[in-house]
Structure 1
Amino acid sequence: MSFDVGAFLLQTVPFAQTLGIVFDKVEDGYAVCRLPDRADLHNHVGGPHAGAMFTLAESASGAAMLTVFGDQLSRAVPLAMGSQVRYLKLAMGEVAAEAWLLGDRDAVVAELDAGRRPEFDVRVEVKNADGTVVCTLTVSWTLRPNR
């Protein structure tokens, strides 16, 4: 990717910046980002709020997606279509999200070339500092062709 995907996302999605999300690793179809442990992001039991963890996970999925399809931004807008989230364990402290693109670039671009809206998924795991998976997500994305 020829541009800083993490910086791009923080600029274009100000809410992620408000939460203090930090992008640690962004490479071909893969991203890792962190949510700091801040009292203003906590829920009623002292851990990160589910909404903050969701935003962290969606941000990681967007970064993983952009590493593969960022070169298509001049002709299509990436949009999250939906997600399946599962909160597995109580999260405490700083959490990190790790995302993997599940879609095939060639198939997605071929659909876009044909004038259709391709759809593909990104898988995300959110972990506590000790590596325990506390939340999983699958985010479904589309590339909406510019008209």
Structure 2
Amino acid sequence: MEQTFSNAFSRIVAKFNKVPAPLRRWARSKAFGNYVKFAGTAGIDFEEVSTAQVVCHIRNVSKNQNHIKGVHAAAMALLAETATGFAVGMNLPDDKLPLLKSMKVEYKKRAQGDMKAVAALTAEQIDAVRSLEKGDVTVPVTVTDSAGNEPIICEMVWAWIPKKRG
């Protein structure tokens, strides 16, 4: 019988699952935004956070906009990086440190409105993240705009290493 996986991120998510439903998403987003300051500054909203999938949003508001009033290219990359990083983080043992190894973002078309990123690991990737002392994984992520278009195509490679002791 398989034991339920637990790490710092999953314990935070479990705590917020006890918050009343209308406040849960806001409270979780606020907590994760305090943990990852840049995501908090941009107002990344965490719709879903589980070991299976992470769904994040960023609003097309002035602080996140470019010169043509769309979500800034760097903000779109931040959204993809955040979703993929939390997907790895939800599955990484507490004695490991996640590190973004590489980020490739191709801008295909102008984005319309707010943005959404969905990142998920395969069962094989989850097993590797949880069991290998160190390694890396390419995390699939889909970023869409409010019109349902995919204005950017991303490839995020995350590595993990043991945390230094002492």
Q: Same fold (TM over 0.5)?
A: yes
Q: Which residue of 2 aligns with 1:48?
A: 71
Letter in 1 for 2:82: S
> TM-score, normalising length from structure 2?
0.76
Cα 1:28–1:93, aligned 2, differ >3 Å: closer, same or farther? same
**Aligned 8 A contact 2:91 2:130 in 1:** no
Helix, strand or coil for the counterpart of 1:133?
Answer: coil
Q: How does 1:1-147 map to 2 (within 5 A)?
A: 1-4=10-13, 9-69=32-92, 72-73=93-94, 75-102=95-122, 104-112=125-133, 117-147=134-164
Q: Deviations over 1:95-134 (max 9, x none)?
A: 111112255233334431xxxx211111111111121111
Aligned residue pair count: 140
Q: Matches of 1:109 and 1:35 in 2, distance apart?
A: 29
Unaligned runs of 5+ in 2: 1-9, 14-27
Cα 1:10–1:135, aligned 2, differ >3 Å: closer, same or farther? same
Q: Matches of 2:89 and 2:52 in 1, distance apart?
A: 8
> TM-score, normalising length from structure 1?
0.85
Helix, strand or coil for the counterpart of 1:43?
Answer: coil
Letter in 1 for 2:67: H
Percent identity of the aligned residues? 30
Letter in 1 for 2:68: V
How many Å apart are 1:45 and its aligned residue?
1.7
Q: CA-atom RMSD, angstroms?
A: 1.8
Greater C-alpha Rg = 2
Helix, strand or coil for the counterpart of 2:143?
Answer: strand
Task: For CA contacts below 8 A with separation 6 or more, give which structure has more relative contact order.
Answer: 1
Unaligned runs of 5+ in 1: none
